[in-house]
Amino acid sequence: MQAETLCGGFADPAIQSAHAFRSVMEAMARPGTIHDISGAEPPAPLSKAAGAVLLTLCDSETPIYLAGEADCDAVRAWLAFHTGAPLTGPSHCMFALGRWEALMPLHAYPIGTPDYPDRSATLVVDGAGLVASGTTLTGPGIKDTASLSLPDVGALQANTALFPLGLDFIFTSGSQLAALPRTIEVC
């Protein structure tokens, strides 16, 4: 087993996973805000934030789909060792990870059912940068409006129109994350 596979997890799992979980929950509760998240040192091409999100939210019962360059031997081995999460295709995943373009098309992922809307996927979109400007967001957790740099506004608006079904998004870059739950209107 390669050293890269064994390294990069939380050094103090109880404390660091609690801090990372808090960052993810704060981002989901306050869409459009950017939060720091730390503790993970995943292999390239993953950002530290994407690694921390996966270490925090994934385990042996959360199937993950790796898209594009994220689907490489180093990432597969690292996830297997640190989370035990099974790898699957897009139609059966609970989490999907990759760059925006690699995660397309959005209709390939589970959006839940009317009886179980919670059985949808969360897409972890690992990108080049997060900026609190650009697209206007409104909805639960946002006092008036928020702004966030987002890819493909039309696709995100179509996702919101599916509510209560639809996908949730966590955008990661470097050691930062922001979230876009399906409840948020993208203007």
pLDDT at 38: 94
| Angstrom distance (rounded) from CA 21 to CA 130 | 19
DSSP state of 118: T
| Angstrom distance (rounded) from CA 31 to CA 141 | 6
Helix (H, G, I), strand (E, B) or coil at 41: coil
Q: Cis ω on the peptide bond leading into residue 105 (within 30° of 0)?
A: yes
**Burial class (CB within 10 angstroms; exposed 0-12, middle 13-18, buried 19+) of 98:** buried
Fold type of domain 10-186: Rossmann fold (3.40.50)
DSSP state of 32: T
pLDDT at 5: 74
pLDDT lower than 70: segments of the chain: 1, 3-4
Residue 139 tokens, joined: 């909805």
Please state the domain extents for the chain.
Answer: 10-186
pLDDT at 1: 54
